[in-house]
Chains A and B, each alone.
Chain A
């Protein structure tokens, strides 16, 4: 499960993680649940249907599949699978009952979304539907399932479906379904990874999110610190630059050596950029200090000053693997 505040690069890193886990000839499934078609956009392809589709091949024969889960379609599928009631499902749509069950009824929507992902976790080859009941000696279809989950602020509620549904539906098949989903989510096989940047608000949300996820009995995986900037200067230069003290004369000499026009003016302007850079990094190191207190592995992903093209995703995947994602 990969979560993170909006704008931190959650979908990008979920995708890179699915690629990383597919290395060495493995097969992974990347699932999105918010109807944003973020995976399709990352790979620069047409919107994904409600169907598992291969989106990438990794070196040594690995494969990444992707699925955009839609709650309404998942409900119809669920009705058909458990009751053989496809036609009845259609009638429900007409009566607005699907709205009821997916948009309005608390937790039902989330159970359907997480249910699809956890079913893929349990699924084994040789069985189409109930992999957890038959053919348990067959290998799993997917070596790993990566869920691009809702943002940090909603993650604990989203994943704690059992409690949500149990509060409302005390009996009924959705209640049983929720219990099964929760069993997979709570198992040691599942971990929630947090994506953050070295800014205060995403970091605070991450720290709060970790507490909330633990409080509902789920496993925290890694904290992926995204867009980490490297200092361009030696520590003493950074420290004085943050205070606005810069040896402009040295800059002027350097610019003259490269035959730049207006070296004096340009040196002043470069000094302004240096101060901004040094202050940003000073803020970031204070934030990093706060993250160093948590006892979960931390990955760091460097800042990239361009759009993430599909090729760059493989480089990100390698970075994650080098830091221990496998």
Chain B
């Protein structure tokens, strides 16, 4: 039996969310290091057990996740995850993939441009930097991939693990920022041939701006950017429009956000920001998954009493194992008290958001069975 939190927050019914056939996209977001990827994978396994045909998109390059799903590695194409034969007859199927942002970008270009134009774009140095190392590209491509999978209609349920951004909010902002930049005034001016209307209107201002940028990054870069934007714009139309389309997909019915957190002050602060932001943007928040919650098995033994009892035994010089067990409990009880306090700070700020606690595990997840156990804990 476990000690339970005293708060009156509604429990997060993960099974109900997975069972609802109208749920088509689940987005897991939260700070780095809170177990987001494992949560996404465990949700996939659980959904499959509940009869859904699910695909999990992860952005975590760690091989461990692939291996825990019985695959040597993951790539940019959904791969079938071999499920244990003892599953229920009604079980669905599970696929998993790892986002390769460059390949996704390349494929998007190849799918939309004629071969000659695609070749031009792919060879452009600015495009190569943009597609492999620009901040925001990973988020943009995660959205692009999500849009593609959703549009293909092959997937009953898509579960997305968001990139480990500088802050959780980057996931929502970066695609738009990249779109806004590529569509922006500056880049339009840069891309416009000299002496067109745009240039004459702004006159010397633009000349100065391009001059400074040229000084900072070098003139060749400007040329690369101009060539790229011209070619890309001809193929794709507005970047911003494209980013906004996927953004709207996130607001559509059938999408559910799950905020993943751990009972640590940094992670909870990020979770709190994210909850506020989702509400502002009318993004449907299904609930919070609180990972790595430490529980105590012993009921009704506050840390102070446990320590006092341990000291009594130590003074007497007898029962050393019992004394150490009481000290261990006192430490765990203090951790539990602290986590409960942090949890209540979050739930009192967001009393209407359902929460599910996932207990900390003494061992790391190695296989599907481990993911199934977390899936069960999620549905507890």
Contact = CB atoms under 8 A, between A and B. Distances in A.
A151 B32 contact: yes
Interface stretch (A119-127, A131-139, A248-256, A311-319): A248-256
A269 B164 contact: no
Interface in B252-285: 262, 264-267
A92 to B, nearest CB: 6
Given A266-B301, A280-B362, A257 B296 contact: no
Given A200-B364, A251-B325, A97 B64 contact: no
A254 B323 contact: yes
Interface residues on B, range: 35 or more
Interface string B305-332: 0000100110010110111111111011
B69 to A, nearest CB: 15
Contact of A250 (B130, B215, B322, B338): B322
Contacts of A257: 312-313, 316, 318-319, 322
Contacts of B213: 92, 97, 100-101
A172 B332 contact: no
B160 to A, nearest CB: 18
B298 A104 contact: no
B212 A79 contact: yes
Interface stretch (A5-13, A181-189, A213-221): A5-13
B309 A258 contact: yes
B215 A173 contact: yes
Given A5-B33, A169-B217, A270-B298, A106 B208 contact: no
Contact of B181 (A79, A103, A151, A204): A103
Interface stretch (A17-25, A83-91, A289-297): A83-91
Nearest to A274: B325
Contacts of A169: 216-218, 220-221
B217 A269 contact: no
Nearest to A164: B133
B170 to A, nearest CB: 10
A253 B221 contact: no
Interface in A269-326: 269-277, 279-280, 283, 305-307
B148 interface: no
A168 interface: yes
A104 B136 contact: yes
Nearest to B305: A260
A191 B136 CA distance: 28
B166 interface: yes
Among B61, B216, B312, B316, the most chain A Cβ lie within 10 Å of the Cβ of B216
Interface string A72-101: 000000010001010010011001110111
Contact of A254 (B32, B33, B297, B321): B321
B157 to A, nearest CB: 26
Contact of A269 (B135, B205, B299): B299
Contacts of A200: 64, 364
Chain A contact surface mostly: helix
A279 B364 CA distance: 10
Interface in B134-192: 134-136, 164, 166-167, 177-178, 180-181, 184-187
B4 to A, nearest CB: 14
Contacts of A141: none
B216 A233 contact: no
B62 interface: yes
Nearest to A266: B298
A199 interface: yes
Nearest to A172: B218
Interface residues of A, number: 76
Contacts of B234: none
A153 interface: yes
Contacts of B187: 100
B34 A7 contact: yes
A34 interface: yes
Interface in B1-22: 1
Contacts of A157: 133
A29 interface: no
B31 interface: yes
Interface of B: 1, 31-34, 61-62, 64, 125-126, 129-130, 133-136, 164, 166-167, 177-178, 180-181, 184-187, 205-206, 208-209, 212-221, 262, 264-267, 296-299, 301, 309, 312-313, 316, 318-319, 321-329, 331-332, 334-335, 338, 362-364
12 contacts: A36-B167, A92-B212, A104-B178, A106-B133, A151-B32, A199-B364, A257-B322, A283-B364, A305-B335, A305-B338, A306-B334, A307-B338
Interface of A: 5-8, 34-36, 38, 41, 79, 83, 85, 88, 91-92, 95-97, 99-101, 103-109, 150-151, 153, 157, 164, 167-175, 199-202, 204-205, 232-233, 237, 247, 250-251, 253-255, 257-258, 260, 266, 269-277, 279-280, 283, 305-307
Given A88-B212, A106-B129, A306-B338, 11 more contacts: A7-B34, A7-B262, A83-B215, A91-B208, A92-B213, A105-B134, A254-B323, A254-B326, A270-B326, A274-B328, A283-B362
Which 7 A-B residue pairings sit nearest by Cβ, starting from the closest? A254-B322, A6-B32, A6-B33, A7-B33, A254-B319, A279-B362, A172-B218
